[in-house]
Amino acid sequence: MQDALETTVEERRGKTRIGATLNGSLRFGPELTTDCEVLDVSVTGVKVQLTDTVPLNSDVTLILPGSVHFGGEVMWRHGLMVGLKFRNSPEKIAERLSGILNNDDMRQLHS
């Protein structure tokens, strides 16, 4: 049953996800920010562990090392873990991620 569930989720995502440990912050609302840790990443979104709650369907900005910003939306939430869908095209996201991730990780994202 678990294998079927994971397959369904992977098919729905449609893009390769890689494990990542990146510290950053998530900006939402007019002036609200919470620290976060990116747990996995793809060119369409990320899974993030937060230090404070963020409402479902919120428009957010993920800020990663080097002041790299990614606009997105909170698509799901389980406690302090959320899934963000990026607003920009996968090509634009890949370009931004290339300054953060190593070459092996970038190759995996493009596979």
pLDDT reported for residue 109: 72
Summarised one tens digit per residue, pLDDT across range 13-46 is 566 788 888 999 999 988 899 999 999 999 999 9
Rounded to two decimals, the pTM is 0.81
Give 58-79 pLDDT, tens digit per residue: 999 999 988 889 999 999 999 9
Write a three-state SS string for the chain. Answer: CHHHHHHHHHHHHCCCCEEEEEEEEEEECCCEEEEEEEEEECCCEEEEEECCCCCCCCEEEEEECCCEEEEEEEEEEECCEEEEEECCCHHHHHHHHCCCCCHHHHHHHCC
Predicted pLDDT of residue 3: 44
